[in-house]
Amino acid sequence: MGAVASPERYNASTTFVDANLEAGRGDKAAILYGDQTLTYNDVAAMMNRTGNALLKLGVQMEQRVMLLLLDSPEFVASFFGAIRMGAIPIPTNTLLRAPDYEYLLNDSRAVALIVSEPLYANIAPIREKLKWLKHVIVVGSSTGAQNAPAGTIQFAEWIKNESPELAPADTARDDACFWLYSSGTTGFPKGAVHLQHDMIYCAENYARSVLGINENDRTFSVAKLFFAYGLGNGLYFPFYVGATTVLYPGRPEPKPIYEVVTKYKPTLFFCVPTAYAGLLAAEDTSAYDLSSVRLCVSAGEALPKALFDKWYAKWNVEILDGIGSTEILHIFISNRAKEVRPGSSGKIVPGYDARIVDEEDRELPQGEVGNLLIRGDSTCAYYWNKHAKTKETIVGEWIRTGDKYLVDKDGYLWYQGRSDDMLKAGGIWVSPVEVEATLISHPAVLECAVIGLMDKDELIKPKAFVILKQGCAPSPELEAELKTFVKDKIAAYKYPRWIEFVSELPKTATGKIQRFKLRQREAEFAKGM
Ligand code: 3UK
For residue 366, which amino acid is it? Answer: Q
Read off the pLDDT of residues 57-105 as tens digits, 9 standing for 90 and up: 999 999 999 999 999 999 999 999 999 999 999 999 887 778 889 999 9
Strand 295-298 versus strand 64-68 pairing type: unpaired
Q: How far is the CA of 347 from the centre of ligand 1 (A)?
A: 15
pTM of the model: 0.84
Q: How far is the CA of 228 from the centre of ligand 1 (A)?
A: 9
Q: Is the CB of 299 under 6 A from ligand 1?
A: yes
Cβ-in-10-Å burial (0-12, 13-18, 19+) of 28 comes to middle
Q: How far is the CA of 512 from the centre of ligand 1 (A)?
A: 9
Q: How far is the CA of 301 from the centre of ligand 1 (A)?
A: 6
Q: How far is the CA of 36 from the centre of ligand 1 (A)?
A: 32
Task: For 391, list phi and psi in degrees, rounded to 5.
Answer: -70, -30
CA distance 40 to 14: 12
Average pLDDT rounded to a whole number, residues 170-174: 98
Q: Is the CB of 372 under 6 A from ligand 1?
A: no
Tell me which of 3.30.300.30, 3.40.50.150, 3.40.50.2300, 3.10.20.740 is the CATH number of domain 423-528. 3.30.300.30
Average pLDDT rounded to a whole number, residues 254-277: 95
**Per-residue H/E/C for 94-118:** CCCCHHHHHHHHHHHCCCEEEEEHH
CA distance 176 to 263: 38
Read off the pLDDT of residues 340-385 as tens digits, 9 standing for 90 and up: 999 999 999 999 999 999 999 999 999 999 999 999 999 999 999 9
Three-state DSSP at 414 gives: strand
Q: Is the pLDDT of residue 529 over 80?
A: no
Query: Per DSSP, what are the bridge partners of residue 400?
Result: 373
Alpha-carbon distance values, 99 to 92, 105, 178, 266 (Å): 14, 10, 22, 37
Alpha-carbon distance values, 375 to 104, 384, 388, 415 (Å): 28, 20, 20, 18
What pLDDT score was predicted for residue 141?
A: 66
Q: Is the CB of 474 under 6 A from ligand 1?
A: no
**Residue extents of the structural domains in the chain:** 1-192, 197-420, 423-528
- Nearest CA owner, ligand 1 atom 23: 323
Point out the least confidently predicted range of 48-62, 131-145, 461-475: 131-145
Q: How far is the CA of 291 from the centre of ligand 1 (A)?
A: 28
Q: Is the CB of 229 under 6 A from ligand 1?
A: yes
Average pLDDT rounded to a whole number, residues 414-424: 74
Q: What is the CATH number of domain 1-192?
A: 3.40.50.980
Are the C-beta atoms of 450 and 488 separated by less than 8 Å? no
Residues in the chain: 529
Query: Which band of pLDDT confidence, cut at 50, 70 and 90, is reported for residue 183?
Result: low
Q: Is the CATH code 3.40.50.2300 the one for domain 197-420? A: no
Q: Is the CB of 321 under 6 A from ligand 1?
A: yes
Give which of 221, 171, 164 is closest to 194, Cα–Cα: 171
Q: How far is the CA of 207 from the centre of ligand 1 (A)?
A: 16
Q: What's the N-to-C CA distance of the chain in angstroms?
A: 59
Query: Which band of pLDDT confidence, cut at 50, 70 and 90, is reported for residue 1?
Result: very low
Q: Which atom of ligand 1 is nearest to the CA of 182?
A: 11
Q: Is the CB of 331 under 6 A from ligand 1?
A: yes
Share of the chain above pLDDT 70, in %: 94
Q: Is the pLDDT of residue 406 over 70?
A: yes
What pLDDT score was predicted for residue 491?
A: 75
What pLDDT score was predicted for residue 267?
A: 98
- Nearest CA owner, ligand 1 atom 3: 302
Cβ-in-10-Å burial (0-12, 13-18, 19+) of 375 comes to middle
Calculate the dihedral angle through the C-alpha atoms of 437, 440, 441, 445, rounding to the nearest 10 degrees: 170
Q: Is the CB of 326 under 6 A from ligand 1?
A: yes
Pocket test for ligand 1, best of 201, 268, 323, 413 (most atoms within 8 A of CB): 323
Q: How does DSSP classify residue 35?
A: T
CA distance 226 to 206: 19
Q: Is the CB of 374 under 6 A from ligand 1?
A: no
Cβ-in-10-Å burial (0-12, 13-18, 19+) of 354 comes to buried
Q: Is the pLDDT of residue 319 over 60?
A: yes
Q: Do domains 1-192 and 197-420 have the same CATH topology?
A: yes
Q: Is the CB of 182 under 6 A from ligand 1?
A: yes
Q: Is the pLDDT of residue 312 over 90?
A: yes
The runs of H, that is alpha helices, within 85-219 are 98-108, 155-160, 198-202
- Nearest CA owner, ligand 1 atom 10: 325
Q: Is the CB of 162 under 6 A from ligand 1?
A: no
Give which of 252, 320, 321, 264 is closest to 289, Cα–Cα: 264
Are the C-beta atoms of 376 and 310 separated by less than 8 Å? no
Are the C-beta atoms of 337 and 350 separated by less than 8 Å? no
Q: How far is the CA of 417 from the centre of ligand 1 (A)?
A: 11
Task: For 160, list phi and psi in degrees, rounded to 5.
Answer: -50, -50
Extended strands (E) in 199-267? 218-221, 244-247
What's the whole-number average pLDDT of the chain? 92
Q: Is the CB of 180 under 6 A from ligand 1?
A: no
CA distance 63 to 111: 7
Are the C-beta atoms of 349 and 425 separated by less than 8 Å? no
Q: Is the CB of 343 under 6 A from ligand 1?
A: no
- Nearest CA owner, ligand 1 atom 13: 325
Q: Is the CB of 325 under 6 A from ligand 1?
A: yes
Q: Is the CB of 93 under 6 A from ligand 1?
A: no
Q: How far is the CA of 72 from the centre of ligand 1 (A)?
A: 24
Read off the pLDDT of residues 154-169 as tens digits, 9 standing for 90 and up: 999 999 999 999 999 9
Q: Is the CB of 418 under 6 A from ligand 1?
A: yes
- Nearest CA owner, ligand 1 atom 6: 324
